Structures are given as C-alpha cells and as structure tokens.
Chain A
C-alpha cells in the first residue's frame, strides 16, 4: 500500500511541501511590502530632513548649508534665494485652503449624507451616489485648470482679483473634491444608526425633520466628525489643484504675531495668490533636486511636516470613529 502510486499522489503534497512554503513566503512578502513602504517613507523623510537641520546635520556628517529649527518654524518668509527657510508661511496658506475647502465641503457634505441616508428613494440614491463618486474621481490637475480657467474669471467679475492665481479658487475646487468623502463617510455613519431609534422617534410623534436632526445626526456624530477630519487631511495633502490655482508666490507670515493669525480669516486675503506646502514642493523641483543640496533637503523637511500632519489627522479620525462610536445591540 505504501508503494501504491495513487496513495503517493494523494499524500505527496502536504502542507509543508516546498511549493506550499514558497507560495506562503510570496504572499507574506507582498504583505510585508506594505509595512516596508511605510517604514521607508518615514525613514527617508526623517533621514533627509535631519540633514536639513543644523542641530542634526553634524550627526550625519553633513557640512554645508543647513537651517536652524527656529528659522524653520518661526521664520516669516519662504524662498530659497535668500535663503529664507520659514515653513510657517506655507503652512498658513495650507490652513487657509483647508479652512475654505471645509467651509464648502462640510455643510454640503453633511446635507448630502443626510439626504441620501434619510430622504432619497432607492432609485435616486442609485443615480446620486455614482455621480458623487465622479466628483472624487476627477484628477486634481483638472480641478486646478478649472480653477484658473473658469472659476477665477467668475471671482474676478464678482470681487475683482488681480492675475490668474488666488487662494479662493483653490478653496472652491478643493472643497468640491473632498465633498464626496465627507458625504460618503458621514452617510455610512448615518446608515449604521439602527432603525429602532428612528421608529422610537416617530412613535413619539416626531416629524421626519425632528428624527433627522434630533436623532440621526447626534447618533452618528462620531462618524460625521471623523469624516470631517479625514476630508480635511485630504485637503491638506492636495497638490496639483492648489499648485495651479494658488500660484507659486510665497506669502509672508509672522508666526510670532497674533495679527497674522487673524489675517488668515480675512476675506480679502483669499483673493490674493498664495503658495501651500505642496505647491512649494512642486516649485522646488525646478531646481537641482538630485544633487542633495539645500533645496533637495528642504523638500523632505516640508514633506515630513506634511506627512506628520496628515498621518496625525488620519489616526485621529480613526480614533474618534472608534472611541466615540455609540454601541447598539
């Protein structure tokens, strides 16, 4: 029986044959690649940014132009010709774009989510949801061209803007881009609210309006909040649309004075051009980027700031969604 060919054929391929192990190793390698990607992003950004700062550069044996941490975080100008290496002017414009985009996307997104989740018929949903997905699918470079070619002229006739570039048009297109994200994540949260709660509300004589605003929205609050953070982090990392729409002229911003923070909310300042962190990275690339000079390293320093902010917001959004999720049985 042990010499039987059929038995041998049946038992030959065991769970530990080299074929099995090779397959498992390949699949494991693919999964590990995702961790390796994250680690290389972090390692690369930290390592290259460390070469940029005066305090860490000597440890890595770099001599050449560097920047102090004070210069980087409190400088009021950005521009490598100086060189003026303050990152806050870039962060300030990024915040303006994020604020403006949120002003558009958050109310519209929550309203959309509420309509889709509570009011829309099944048929209407089947048309509206793919249409919203298209909003998120259009490449950001196209939104950038929309901003310059079609939205800026409208802003010009309404408020009067100089030139092709301004922050307001960037806010509008980024707002449209992140709207589907607010809508879909919020809608998922609203759909997860159990029907019992709604029925209880109706049983108490509440109208649909009362149930939507008084029961569904509070019950889904954690999910709605996490959608805001997720969408705003998308707005912060957005590159091509803000590069084209906002232009590539760095503003001055003094991070040590209170007045400059208030100016972020001044409507007039939205009608002027401004360069975000991402736009600055694109602009830097016109210089010598492979040589490992100051421009190259500042690219990674700005990239690190961007990465830390967006990762922090993603993690925060995840935490809020999990920690404050209402538990229903």
Chain B
C-alpha cells in the first residue's frame, strides 16, 4: 500500500524538462541562424577588424561606455525615460534618412522648376474647391464635380507651360521652401495651435518657415547643397525640435531621457576628434558615402555604388503607393461597409486570400503580358514596374485595411447614421478617420514587402544596367535588382562578401526603418 502511494506521488519531470528545452531550442534555431548570418554580413560590410585597435578603444570610451551607462541610468529611473531617449535617438536618424532620399529626388530626378509648375497647377483646382465650399448656394454635385475636373485638366494643360516659361527662375531652395516648407509650417502651426494655443502656433509656423529658408541659405553658403539643406531642416531638424519641445513641455518627468541622444552625439563627435588628433585609421567599410552615391556599374567592387538603385526604389514606392493604396482601401471599404451578403461578395472574399498566395513571379508574368505585350508599354519602365508591384501588394493592402475598418466600433457608425448621415458621409467622416492609423500601418508594411521584391521586376524586363530614370518611361532600377545584378553578372567571391554585404545592409536599413515606423504608429494609436 505504502509502495503504491510513493509511486503515485512521483512523476518523472525529466521528459517534460527535456521536451521544453528542445522546443525552446527549435524556437531559437531560425532566429539565431538569421542573427549569425546578419553578423557575418555586418562584418563584411563594415570590416571592423581593419581599424586600428586604438580606434576601437577611443570609441569604446567616448561612445559605447557613456551610452550604455546613460541608458542604464535612464532605465533605472523609469522605462518611459529610456523610451523617450531611444525615440529621440532613432527618430532623427530615420527622419534624416528619408530627408536624404527626398533630396536625392529633387537633385537628380525632378527639376525644381517642373515641380513648382505642377504644384501651382494643382493648387488652382484646390483653390476652386475651397471657393465652391465657401459659397452658400447649393450646387448640384455633378456640376461641382464637372467644374473641378474641368479646372484641373485645364490648369494642368496651361499652367506648367506658363510657369516653366517664366523669364526669371527662383532658386532651388526657394521653390522647396515655397512648395514644402509653407504647407508644413501651416499644418504644424495649426496642430500646435490646437495643442498649446494660438500664439504658439503662429510662432512655430514662422519658425519652421524661417528655419527652412535658413537651411537653404546655409546649405548654399557651406557648399553642402541648397536642396539637402532645406530637406534636412524641414524633415529632420523640425520634427526633432518638435519632439524635444513636446517632451520638455508635456513630459517633464521624462525630459532627462533626452540626455541619451545628447550623449550619443557628443560621444561620436568627441571620438571623431580624438581619432583625428591621434591619427588612428577607422575601418575600411564597404558601406561608405561613395557606395551610397556612386552610379558606376562595373566589375570593380571598389567603384560601384547603389545610388541609382536607391532612387529607383523611392520612385517605385511612390507609384506603388499611388495605385495600391486607394484601390486597396476602396476595396476594403466596399467589402466591409457596402457589400451585400451575396455569392459575388463571397467570391471576392475567397479570391483575395488566394491572390495573396500567388507567387510573386506570376505577378511579374501578369505585368509582362498585360502592360508590356498588350498595352504596348516598353519593358522595364517605372510605370510598368510600379503597376506590377502595386498588383502584388494590392491583396495585402486590402486585408490589412479590412482589419483596420473592422476594428472601428459599430456604435460609431450607428451614431453617424442616427444623425441622418448617408453611407458615404459615414465612411468619410467616421470610418476612414478612425481606421486611418491601422490603414497607415498596413500600407507601410505592404510597401516594405514591395521594397524587397525582385522577381516581378526581372520578369517585366527591367534592365540589367540602369541609371537614374528621368521620365515615366525610362527603365527603372531598384535596390534588390541591383543586388541581383551584382550577384549574377559579377558572381565571384570578391563581390559576394564585399559589395553585396554592403547592399544588404542598405536594403535592410530601408526595410527596417519602414517597419519601425509602422510599429511606432501602431503602438502610438493603440495606447489611446
């Protein structure tokens, strides 16, 4: 009897523990493999071992140790303090990245005068719309629509030619301040006015406008370039300043977290000065300014660069977003708000999930057949590539937009209908604004999927050698395409562990920056 009792109470935990350990190891296996591969890539791209040991020591003492110490100290104060510091570090970096991309567009693709002419041409119909809204007379909707479309078409026909024929041409930075700085100053001014009052709004607006003009003048004077000067001021310096101000005014208990970015910047500068003074050489990294800005295509790893790929990818993403987002959100709105429960609706439903599983190379065939063979477009152009990638991400945008729309509570819709709103008014005023953060997150994630797609671009006949596109119909390059060309045309160990590693770092940086924006947007709005 006592013997049986003993056995009943004792269960071997050895198998359970072993099983748990095996499961945990399997979970980590994939993640660790990727991590090891990324360490190899980083090592090849940055060549840290080629630097003097003294160089590492200097930066360890000026940058790494102070950063870790400050970060730890912030974390001990509160998690929020550390988060504030991290955001203050990452946000300016990502903002500068995107400002740089924008500057590249204005330097190499879109002449500022052309840009100005189209902005003015589109400002005319926008003004007409505002004027029509202000009038009290009721105009039939179709007449209003016709008028706006007519004015838009007329203005696009006439105004660009007029502006481009002007005898005196404004400087590059003036155009950017006028077309981008002014709207930014207005919008942020309005936003700050709502947050902190009228006076602050005006001050902020004026400061933004003045600051971007100063950025232009300084850029010209220092030889840094007027366009990058304005772009960096508007899209990196202004958001950073705004973030710092918000933290200082609204989160005083966390303001100490801003010490972290200050320590990082100060440490990097101090390290740079010390290294220069001591004459220590840094690593011979493959990711350097030359690699980012060179358009050379050759078999010499040291001379090639990824610049035309970067510009191509940025342009492609604009085209993809312009096509896939309205269509995808529209389809999601139809399925969630309008669709009756019919067979056709169910067909669309099943169809979308199947479309998301179609291999990307098949989308390439679709683009090749549809746009190149039957629509008669030339192979591998910006428009064809963008449209093909848009078809590829279309189902992804629909699925994520549907989720965002479904998350809008039904009570909000009922309230709107109860006030006598029509379906379209409910969609426009209630559903879409509430679903906007979710839609934005899904869109960014879809674009970050499109940014790495290579096969569809190859199938539509994108050129193996490409430059910087100058029109809708010039052949397009992209970062992943550039990687493929390097990997296939120059397939040699000399390319695989040097330039390709650097290319992977650039492509992954672009992707991860997009993903982190998406995650930030999601978390920011989930907290509300």
Contacts and interface: CB of A to CB of B under 8 A. Distances in A.
A299 B337 CA distance: 40
A278 interface: yes
Interface stretch (B126-134, B197-205, B262-270, B365-373): B365-373
Contacts of A44: 365-366, 369-370
Most chain B C-beta atoms within 10 Å of own C-beta, residue among A120, A233, A240: A240
A34 B350 CA distance: 11
Interface in B444-480: 448-449, 451-455, 458-459, 461, 480
A35 B351 contact: yes
Given A10-B420, A24-B424, A140-B452, A207 B487 contact: no
B426 to A, nearest CB: 11
Contacts of A19: 141, 424
A243 to B, nearest CB: 8
Nearest to B374: A44
A149 B500 contact: yes
A139 B480 contact: yes
A12 to B, nearest CB: 7
Contacts of B511: 137-139
Interface in B325-380: 326-331, 333-335, 337-339, 347-348, 351-355, 357-363, 365-366, 368-370, 372-373, 379
Contacts of B26: 107-108, 111-112, 115
A27 B334 contact: yes
Given A18-B141, A38-B354, A142 B365 contact: no
Interface string B70-89: 00000000000000000000
Interface in B142-184: 142, 145
Nearest to B501: A149
A186 interface: no
A306 B484 CA distance: 22
Interface stretch (B11-19, B96-104, B216-224): B11-19
Given A9-B138, A115-B26, A23 B424 contact: yes
A77 interface: no
**Contact size class for B?**
35 or more
A116 interface: yes
B383 interface: no
Interface in B422-440: 422-425, 427
**Contact size class for A?**
35 or more
B37 A141 contact: no
Q: Is the interface of A mostly helix, strand, loop or mixed?
A: helix
A111 B26 CA distance: 6
B11 to A, nearest CB: 6
* List of 10 A-B pairs having minimum Cβ-Cβ separation, nearest first: A139-B452, A237-B359, A30-B330, A111-B26, A27-B334, A115-B23, A149-B496, A30-B331, A239-B455, A23-B424
Interface of A: 8-10, 12-15, 17-20, 22-24, 26-35, 37-38, 40-41, 44-45, 48, 107-108, 111-112, 114-116, 119-120, 128, 131-132, 134-135, 137-142, 144-146, 148-150, 164, 176, 179-180, 207-209, 212-213, 230, 233-234, 236-240, 244, 278, 281-282, 285, 289-290, 292, 299-300, 303, 306-307, 310-311, 314-315, 318
Interface of B: 11, 13, 15-16, 19-20, 22-24, 26-27, 29-31, 33-34, 37, 40-41, 138, 140-142, 145, 326-331, 333-335, 337-339, 347-348, 351-355, 357-363, 365-366, 368-370, 372-373, 379, 391, 394-395, 398, 420, 422-425, 427, 448-449, 451-455, 458-459, 461, 480, 483-484, 487-488, 491, 493, 496-497, 500-501, 504, 507-508, 511, 515
